[in-house]
Amino acid sequence: MDASLVTVVLPTFNRLELLRAAVDSVLAQTFAAWELIVVDDGSREDTRGYLRGLRDPRVSVVFADHTGVPAVARNRAIARARGRYVAFLDSDDRWAPEKLTRQLALMRSSPGRRWSYTAVRRIDAAGNEITTRSVPWAPHSGWIVEQVLRVDAQIATPTVLAELELVRELGGFDERMRFIEDYDLWARMALASEAAVESAPLADVRSHAAHFTADRAGKLGGWASFHAKMEALVPTRALRALCRRRKREYLLALAAEQAQGRDWAGMRSTVIAAARAGAIRPLGWLRVARAAAFPARVAATESD
């Protein structure tokens, strides 16, 4: 392991033009002692041709068969990493030029805190800033597992910098999770170490129609699975109760989403899981019933 090196992990699947911007933002870093490991998850030849043409010796590319599971791609890079720290970047996002410089300074001034994250800018497909935000971003540092579970700590993947050994000790990303695998790792890191936070927005997260997490049902199921997993890991009764409550809420929301999409088999399975989990929230059940009775009407109302 090279103590002066930062390993940058970047999974990609197609999105060539956005990928170029992501890679360029790494090449433009004011901190130069990095290695970039790009894991190509079975992209088309235009993307693979671009990756083969990258000449910077700090860049390496792993060409893999398509899995569609970001955790698998990221773990492939983590297995090859050589740096003391590991940073994450997705192929449709980008970094500010001073991102690594400022975040490394933060880590060096925060002894005992083995991971960190920063504020973020939200941008659209064209790179324009999105200023509307339902919940304002706020910094949370120290022991923040409860804030992570509540998502009061809004931690975007391209803002995270962590000790490589910490990530490896925790087993990296959970490859069984297709969604919310990022918050799953952040929560486990929050159980293992205090976090440092930088309030400057040092990364841009892009919202666009082809975004991987545009699958609403997949995200809701991922959050339910995340809280079910964390219920068994958190150390206190209060946190376990929080996980149970959030798991029930997400199961009911998932059942309503499945009803709106006329996924009746999925809805029945989720309703059974919610009942077994002890979901009793009347408004949640009412939403499921309304969605099942009037799926098109409920979907139209919620999109207004």
The pLDDT of residue 298 is above 70:
no
Name the pLDDT band for 297 (thresholds 50, 70, 90): low
Q: Tell me whether residue 117 is exposed, middle or buried, using C-beta atoms within 10 angstroms of its C-beta: 0 to 12, 13 to 18, 19 or more.
A: buried
pTM across the whole model:
0.91
Q: Which residues contact 148 (CB under 8 A, 6 or more apart)?
A: 155, 183, 186, 187, 190
Alpha carbons 300 and 13: distance in angstroms, whole number: 32
Question: Model confidence over 36-57: pLDDT tens digits?
Answer: 999 999 999 999 999 999 999 9
Q: Is 73 helix (H, G, I), strand (E, B) or coil?
A: helix
The pLDDT of residue 135 is above 70:
yes
Alpha carbons 137 and 132: distance in angstroms, whole number: 12
Q: Percentage helix, strand, coil, to 5, in the chain?
A: 50, 20, 35
Tell how far CA 279 is from the center of its chain: 27
Question: Model confidence over 75-125: pLDDT tens digits?
Answer: 999 999 999 999 999 999 999 999 999 999 999 999 999 999 999 999 988
Question: Model confidence over 212-255: pLDDT tens digits?
Answer: 556 899 999 999 999 999 999 999 999 999 999 999 999 999 99
Residue type, 165: E
Which range has the worst mean pLDDT, 28-32, 87-91, 157-161, 276-280?
276-280
Share above pLDDT 70 across residues of the chain, in percent, rounded to a whole number: 94
Q: What is the CA radius of gyration of the chain?
A: 20
Sign of the C-alpha dihedral computed for residues 70, 72, 73 and 77 taken in this order: positive
Intervals of CATH 3.90.550.10 along the chain: 2-211
Question: Model confidence over 191-205: pLDDT tens digits?
Answer: 999 999 999 999 999
Q: What is the mean pLDDT of the chain?
A: 93
Share above pLDDT 90 across residues of the chain, in percent, rounded to a whole number: 86
Regarding the domain delimited by 2-211, which CATH topology (the fold level of the hierarchy) does it fall under? Spore Coat Polysaccharide Biosynthesis Protein SpsA; Chain A (3.90.550)
